[in-house]
Structure 1
Amino acid sequence: MDAPLANQQPLSHLNIFAAKGVQMRTFHLTWLTFFFCFFGWFGIAPLMPLVREQLHLDKGQVGNIVIASVSATILARLIMGKLCDTLGPRLAYTLLLVVGAFPVMLIGLSNSYESFLLFRLAIGIIGASFVITQFHTSMMFAPNVVGTANAVAGGWGNLGGGIANMAMPLVAAAFVSLGYIDEANSWRLAMVVPGVVLLVMAWLYYKYTTDTPRGNYADIQRTATAEKPKGTFLLALRDYRTWVLALAYGACFGIEITIDNVAAVYFVDHFGATLVLAGMLAGIFGFMNIFARGLGGWVSDRMGRTYGLKGKWLLLSGLLILEGFGIVLFAVAPSLPLAIAAMLLFALFLKMANGCTYSIVPFVNKKAMGSVSGVVGAGGNLGAMLVGFLFKSSAISYSTAFLYIGLGVAAVGGLVLLVRLVRKEIGEVAPESLTLARA
């Protein structure tokens, strides 16, 4: 039996094998829900060669679809960050899952470029699940371990994008082998699967999670010092660190979801890989989330305990610079084996940078944690949207686009370092000595 909710506090340790208690139950449901959100969000990506052929899409149209897939997420993340501060993560997540499930299931009804583009745009709202995930784990864990908890939950959830690249071609092939549909249309039926799963997760999340260790927002007697904060969005925007983190997240997570969208097509077109092989290779990139993002959060927490927030910022800058260098190597790789090696290299630093970024977010503004999380998360998608224009240009090859991206990411890493050197915080202390406001 769980202890009475009124007596529950954020956990000061993370045991990933534990499931007892409202904190760990919420942790596991949160990352699992996030996993299926990413699975649904990028489920169509490895099937794009089939969609491209059937709907007769050109490179510019495929590029627009890539941009659309991440565009709606920008606004959705801002909204969900605010709803976490006011409505609570439990209801916010349930609402998002129910609404997001329908375009995932119904994208198979598309019969033109325009209709497919609109469905892909609508599916993008479920990318806001990340903001709720990070907010909810921040509520459940104490400052000394919140970076690790956020990174593990985020990494295991992001894994859904990689597994989708591996699994969706197999799901589509299974429907074909069972005789339900022909290969050209198999993507239509395959996308029903993740949509149904999202509805199931909505019910589980509503029934088995709580907003805070002490209960749901609506059930807690809130004191004058623990009232729902007002004007949280403005509080987030006024802090320059919010913008620096948003820029950094655009350079790591923004690139990650771009890779999730275009990797399979790149391996098919540039190296002549089969659809299944290309999906598997793209899936390897996403599969590294099982450890790399969590590693970034863990290292960041260690740096924080030793050097304070300054250590976390320095780590983030270094990871971004190394990520950019790895992407440049990926862009110029002359063969498939070398491209895979370079991909694994930059994927490690990219996903560690993801974890490091959100290990800093809870310490920016304790009164507006949801809004800060939303703005930073939106920055990730804005970065993906901007680099998406490189992939729609008929004058730029995919490999050239990756080269430009690598140089840009390294420049962002240097800029993060420069800003922190210029705007040195007065009185920064080690994260474990900071106190986060809990609802």
Structure 2
Amino acid sequence: MSAEKFNLFAFTGKMKVLHLSWMAFFITFMVWFNFAPMLQAIAASLGLEKSEIKTLLILNVALTIPARVVIGMLTDRYGPRIVYSALLAVCAIPCFMFALADTFVQAAIARFMLGFIGAGFVIGIRMVSEWFPANELGTAEGIYGGWGNFGSAAAAFTLPVIAIWFGGDEGWRYAIGLTGLMSLLFSVVYYMNVSDTPKGSTYFKPKNMGAMEVTSKGDFFFLLIMKVPMYAALALLTWKLSPSGVAMLSETTSLLCYVGLVLLFIYEVSHVWKVNKNIFHTPVPEMHQYKFKQVAVLNILYFATFGSELAVVSMLPLFFAETFELTPVVAGMVASAYAFMNLMSRPGGGWLSDKFGRKPTLLILTAGLAVGYLLMSMVDSQWPLWLAVVAAMACSFFVQSGEGAVFAVVPLIKRRLTGQIAGMTGAYGNVGAVTYLTVLSFVDYSTFFLVIAGTAVVGFIALLMMEEPKGHIAEVREDGSVEMISVGHG
């Protein structure tokens, strides 16, 4: 842990690692969301129909659910420096593929593969937790999350301008290719300039690769139950792409996908058993135990916070355009107020957690979240536009501060599993997005907002079971000695 002062304007030691990490995350989000702002130009250029555009939007988030879990495991095993650099370099390839696509199928394959870059977020959570002490961790993770997340808004503002600057109907290809080039170049910058831990610190790795460790029999079954919604979301995506939905997959392919998901789940259950079977005959010493319910509660909260953010960001321009009869450009600008809040809200949520405790902060923010979406469900054309924008921004504050507060707790559960826990919690955000967007395809806007408010209430109830992190996490060094990592208030 680095003892230097927390100075946002410094670019040495832990602050340098923080700045480079949020920049890496910023670039991953810019690449991940690089086509949404130019959808109309891309659709015109490739001759896409409305259903095909919707399919690209779904494919863009599909792979991120399993990717976040896989990337979390790789990060714990090989360290964030290598994994982040590799992700930035490798994902530049599908980005270039998308920029060069001539048909819908080529574009769809590239977009599906690009879902992997949405997992970059998880890597930095572990990196930042290695460099900052518990009493600064919420703020640091909040800055990492909030400023990096702004990559999607930056893409919305800059890429259409770059596309116009390059000119012509093919301008979008240059804009998207440019984000791939940034990703490729920054992978080198990141690799050359960071290390996994401060000098002299140990990087703790999980005992096993392939599944999350749990420390009690009850938690073994709890982990398996919490895996189910992730597979259910992937089945839901398959259904949306099947003949019952946008018909991108044939009946046979859809069936194969369903069978594949069942087999994958069975395979994962066997892995969880292999990693954890010893707890059924040898209890884990108390100092090495952690409670999986902490992870489960954070999963539910991230489902409601980040899940609703991803869903709302993609439908808000349309909501404003239809409700207030605005032009697409004006609606896009008005809706971007929601994303803009990220710069301050997420660090704010983390800072509040550091200051006033993890659980009280989450309780207040989750309650605010429920009220915020309840308010959004009442917005209609009778409202003055400015008031609707204020309501969206207030709602957005609670959503994003809530995300910051969730990830102020994630690194305090079990240090060597931080990547895996962040991966699972992050994946739940995507599960939430898939769920909410599916709900939206069946109901009106008002009901959609009410459903999110309802899940926030469920999150609030679950939160009552969570325990405030306190004391220390015990981790074993390679020489067998035990290091105690403080997680309480300092």
TM category, shorter: 0.7 to 0.9
CA 1:314 to 1:438, structure 2 compared with 1: closer, same or farther past 3 Å?
farther
CA 1:273 to 1:40, structure 2 compared with 1: closer, same or farther past 3 Å?
farther
Q: Please, which runs of 5 or more residues in structure 2 have no aligned partner? A: 215-221, 224-291, 478-490
Which residue in 2 is equivalent to 1:285? 338
Shift of 1:264: 4.3
Q: TM-score, normalised by structure 1?
A: 0.83
Paired residue secondary structure (1:353) = helix
CA 1:353 to 1:420, structure 2 compared with 1: closer, same or farther past 3 Å?
closer
Which residue in 2 is equivalent to 1:141? 132
The alignment-based identity, stated in percent, is 31
- Contact 1:319–1:349 (CA<8 Å) still a contact in 2? yes
Paired with 2:391 and 2:103, the residues of 1 have a C-alpha distance of 36
Residue 109 (structure 2) pairs with residue 124 (structure 1)? no
Which residue in 2 is equivalent to 1:83? 74
Shift of 1:96: 0.6
Which residue in 1 is equivalent to 2:458? 415
Which residue in 1 is equivalent to 2:11? 19
- Contact 1:323–1:409 (CA<8 Å) still a contact in 2? no
CA 1:380 to 1:175, structure 2 compared with 1: closer, same or farther past 3 Å?
same
- What pairs with 1:163-202 in structure 2 (closer than 5 Å)? 163-176=154-167, 182=168, 184-202=169-187
Q: 1:155-194: per-residue Cα shift (whole Å, max 9, x none)?
A: 0000111111111111111111xxxxx2x33222211111
Paired with 1:139 and 1:286, the residues of 2 have a C-alpha distance of 28
Which residue in 1 is equivalent to 2:63? 72
Shift of 1:300: 1.7
Paired with 1:45 and 1:311, the residues of 2 have a C-alpha distance of 37
- Contact 1:293–1:352 (CA<8 Å) still a contact in 2? yes
Which amino acid in structure 1 is aligned with residue 397 of structure 2? L
Paired residue secondary structure (1:145) = helix
For CA contacts below 8 A with separation 6 or more, give which structure has more relative contact order. Answer: 1
Which residue in 1 is equivalent to 2:2? 10
Q: TM-score, normalised by structure 2?
A: 0.75
Task: Tell me which structure has the larger Cα radius of gyration.
Answer: 2
Paired residue secondary structure (1:18) = coil
Paired with 1:173 and 1:207, the residues of 2 have a C-alpha distance of 34
Which residue in 1 is equivalent to 2:303? 250
Q: How much is the aligned-residue C-alpha RMSD, in angstroms?
A: 2.8
Paired with 2:144 and 2:202, the residues of 1 have a C-alpha distance of 29
Paired with 1:332 and 1:13, the residues of 2 have a C-alpha distance of 50
- What pairs with 1:179-328 in structure 2 (closer than 5 Å)? 182=168, 184-214=169-199, 226=204, 228-230=206-208, 233-235=211-213, 238=223, 239-267=292-320, 271=324, 273-274=326-327, 276-304=329-357, 309-328=358-377
Paired with 1:61 and 1:235, the residues of 2 have a C-alpha distance of 41
Paired with 2:146 and 2:92, the residues of 1 have a C-alpha distance of 22
Paired with 1:36 and 1:438, the residues of 2 have a C-alpha distance of 35
Paired residue secondary structure (1:10) = coil
- Contact 1:361–1:372 (CA<8 Å) still a contact in 2? yes
Does 123-132 or 316-325 show the bigger shift? Answer: 316-325
Q: 1:283-307: per-residue Cα shift (whole Å, max 9, x none)?
A: 3322221111111111122221xxx
Which amino acid in structure 1 is aligned with residue 208 of structure 2? K
Shift of 1:328: 2.1
Which residue in 2 is equivalent to 1:388? 437
CA 1:230 to 1:169, structure 2 compared with 1: closer, same or farther past 3 Å?
same
Which residue in 1 is equivalent to 2:277? none
Does 166-175 or 319-328 show the bigger shift? Answer: 319-328
Which residue in 1 is equivalent to 2:266? none
Shift of 1:437: 5.1
Residue 341 (structure 2) pairs with residue 356 (structure 1)? no
- Contact 1:323–1:406 (CA<8 Å) still a contact in 2? no
Which amino acid in structure 2 is aligned with residue 17 of structure 1? F
Which amino acid in structure 2 is aligned with residue 382 of structure 1? V
Does 233-242 or 195-204 show the bigger shift? Answer: 233-242
Which amino acid in structure 2 is aligned with residue 188 of structure 1? R
Which residue in 1 is equivalent to 2:257? none
